[in-house]
Amino acid sequence: MTTRRYRAPLRWAIFDLDGTLKQARDPYVYLHERLGMAEAAAPITEAGLSGRIPYEEWFRRDVGLWRGQPVARLQALLREIPYHPGAREAVADLRRRGLRLAILTTGPHFHAEMVAEELGFERVVANQVGVQDGTVTGEVGRVIPLGGKGPALRELLEVWGADPAACLAVGDGESDVPMFREVGLAVAVCPESPAVRQAADLVLESPDLTGLVGALLALDPHLLPPPVR
């Protein structure tokens, strides 16, 4: 656990998506399996994990498998991934307290945008999949590079004009650690490794987000603004 200076009350909150708000930790693997493409994706994954291809190329090849797929179909499959217990309620509580909310994920943008609309997030930063006339083209746009959530978060905070010390970040994986380092307070949700646990100020041992707001207020009663009814 780290020690840092946060500035209360917190005014901004940035959430990872996969494994933090929703139960599946890898939306690419999930979609490949649901689409019957797991065998075709296996050598791409192996090349990416071994470092034989850079992350951006890994993403491009993954997305290339979806060429011709209607985005609506992919979103319908992704919608079947359950939210973690308490996710909707925790996000709604933070919204009632006036926090401005964003999703920062290395997953595909059409998943993040769907979740943002469902839960009421203001902004989305995600990997951009090429889409034309509602169909995946196989091309890619902006890609958040491996370890790139830190710079992506800084860019988002600049757009907002946000004070990093008054920002909350919530994540579960090692890709979230650079994001944790940029904010006043970091929460690890059922962290996937000791490195994630060490980088966080607060750890939720269960993926259940029901207790998120209570845990924040237990840390400091003034950490969050009061809810607006």
CATH assignment of the domain containing 138: 3.40.50.1000
Assess whether 74 and 101 both reside in one domain. no
In this structure, are 194 and 87 located in the same domain? yes
Residues 87 and 71 in one domain: no
18, 93, 172, 176: which is the annotated catalytic residue?
18
Would you say 209 and 92 are in contact if contact means Cβ atoms under 8 Å apart?
Answer: no
Average pLDDT, the chain: 95
> Cβ distance 162 to 14 under 8 Å?
no
> Domain check: are 134 and 39 in the same one?
no
**Active-site residue flag, 163:** no
Query: DSSP label at 174?
Result: G
Residues 39 and 100 in one domain: no
Tens-digit pLDDT profile for residues 46-75: 999 999 999 999 999 999 999 999 999 999
Active-site residue, from 16, 62, 176, 201 = 16
**Domains held by the chain: number:** 2
Contact (Cβ atoms closer than 8 angstroms) between residue 65 and residue 7: no
Give the pLDDT confidence of 158-205 residue by residue, as tens digits. 999 999 999 999 999 999 999 999 999 999 999 999 999 999 999 999
Written as one letter, the residue type at 68 is G
142 and 127 Cβ atoms separated by less than 8 Å:
yes
pTM of the model: 0.95
Domain identity same for 163 and 150: yes
Residue numbers of the domain that contains 39 = 29-78
Whether residues 101 and 214 fall in one domain: yes
Q: Are residues 97 and 210 in the same domain?
A: yes
Same domain, 53 and 157: no
Same domain, 101 and 159: yes
pLDDT in tens, 96-106: 999 999 999 99
Residue 93 covered by a domain: yes
Is residue 138 situated within a structural domain?
Answer: yes
